[in-house]
Amino acid sequence: MNTPSPLLSAQGVHVTFPGRHGAPDVRAVDGVDLDVRPGEIVALVGESGCGKTTLARALVGLVEPTAGRIAFDGRPLEYSGRSLKAYRRRVQLVLQDPTGSLNPRHTVYDAVAEGLRIHGHAGDERAAVAGALARAGLRPAERFFLRRPHELSGGQRQRVVIAGALVLEPELLVADEPVASLDASVRGEILALLLRLRAELGLSALVVTHDLGLAWNIADRVAVMYLGRIVETGEVERVLTAPRHPYTRALLSVLPEAPGDPVILAGEPPDPSRIPSGCRFHARCQILAGGEAERAGVAEACRGRDPGILDGSGTAQVACHWASHSGAD
């Protein structure tokens, strides 16, 4: 794959929230490099609390990173009201729960036209709204204009939210769990829509999800996040069929259809205000616990040395002493 310059690029991004009542700071995003190239669909995968939503919010400018930098189309993001407004014309956020994202008293038309009005759209508003609804698969668009969210099914509501994002003709969609609240049969339809938008409009997307199957369904590249860091990244085929990081391996092993014995990690991810030293995964790592890291002579590094930040370029990489040492690919 030749690599055009990234559309969106995060470098060394940290987002830290101050701890309350003297508690240590919460390092929600703890050093992330991530690129999204034009026309690319990247899946950011992780469990609740891993920092994936905070990272997505930082990428669309809703949270200012504590450290590091985010650049769009080669230019660093600025946090003045005016530049953010211009930025959000080009990058749109789609949230998980379409019912919560839509104002119940607004009609579909108003919900979709809101972005146009905010940005002072000069052209034909009606045509733009109809076009966005049609692209989101709500046809004939005019029939949906005066409906309100409660008159629509869950899938239709999510299509309205997507139409609201599309109406400004953005270059990138950041979608946070776009199908998590939808039924399985509707899920496939919405994911197919994202693929079609990429094919028809060249739209790039960063899809934040807990669902590895979604990454397999639509993404070119996947980044697996654990406790504020990306621990493994690469092309979907490679990462999901030959995972190298013990965490990615465990996540894949517990899926219902996975071959072999499931590796069920005990406990829950640690609190991001108390990130373990050394490799942040070492306390739950099945490779370290099973003695394989010891045999490979990396156990000390696992406990004491941070494997570092993966670069955002999209080549296959893993933040694991054992996987790097044993070349377990």
Give the binding site for another protein (CB under 8 A): 47-48, 153-155, 183-192, 195, 210, 212-214, 216-218, 236-237, 240-241, 250-252, 254-258, 262, 264-266, 268
Question: In the bound complex, what is the minimum distance in angstroms from residue 74's beta carbon to another protein?
Answer: 29
Name the phi and psi angles at 166, rounded to 5: -75, -25
Question: In the bound complex, what is the minimum distance in angstroms from residue 40's beta carbon to another protein?
Answer: 13
Report the Cα–Cα distance between both ends of the chain, in Å, rounded. Answer: 19
Question: In the bound complex, what is the minimum distance in angstroms from residue 49's beta carbon to another protein?
Answer: 9
Q: Between 33 and 177, name the residue whose CB sits nearer to another protein.
A: 177
Q: Between 186 and 275, name the residue whose CB sits nearer to another protein.
A: 186
Question: In the bound complex, what is the minimum distance in angstroms from residue 308's beta carbon to another protein?
Answer: 24
Strands 91-94, 75-76: pairing is unpaired
Q: Between 13 and 251, name the residue whose CB sits nearer to another protein.
A: 251
- DSSP three-state, residue 299: helix
Name the phi and psi angles at 64, rounded to 5: -90, 130
Angle, CA of 116, 117 and 120, to the nearest 5°: 85
Q: Between 45 and 56, name the residue whose CB sits nearer to another protein.
A: 45
Question: In the bound complex, what is the minimum distance in angstroms from residue 274's beta carbon to another protein?
Answer: 15
Q: Between 9 and 217, name the residue whose CB sits nearer to another protein.
A: 217
Whether 197 contacts 203, CB under 8 Å: yes
**Residue 51 burial (CB < 10 Å; 0-12/13-18/19+)?**
buried
Task: Compute CA distances 159 → 53, 133, 204, whole Å.
Answer: 21, 8, 17
